[in-house]
Structure 1
Amino acid sequence: MANLRITLVKSLIGRPETERKTARAMGLKKLHRQVVCPDTPVTRGQVQKLAHLVRVESIE
């Protein structure tokens, strides 16, 4: 199963509370921090919600 490397590239300041909570739930706290998550429908949904704030790379 593939994994996703997710990097927070834009600030959460001024973003809606739901976006901040989603980023926090994914483990993204500070700019340019990376997390590796499994490529599941749940993770894809979270990434879609934060698409304008994160960069996503697929890793094997």
Structure 2
Amino acid sequence: MAQIHIKLVKSVIDRPERQKRTIKALGLGKIGSTKAVENTPQVAGMVNAVKHLLEVTEL
């Protein structure tokens, strides 16, 4: 399966708790943190929910 590279580019301060938990579930913490994950339907849904906070590139 294809992988995607996600990077947190905006802060989660003043965001709804649901978005904060989604960012944490993706394995991201501080601004600038990155992670390479498999592009499954579950991960794609989480990325889509917080796409305004992330920068996504396909590997």
- Structure 1 residue ranges without an equivalent (≥5): none
1:37 alignment counterpart: 37
**Alignment identity in percent?**
39
Return the offset for 1:38: 0.2
- Structure 2 residue ranges without an equivalent (≥5): none
- Residue-pair matches, total: 59
Alignment of 1:1-60 (within 5 A): 1-59=1-59
TM-score, normalised to structure 2's length? 0.97
TM-score, normalised to structure 1's length? 0.95
RMSD, matched Cα: 0.5
Moved over 4 A (4+): none
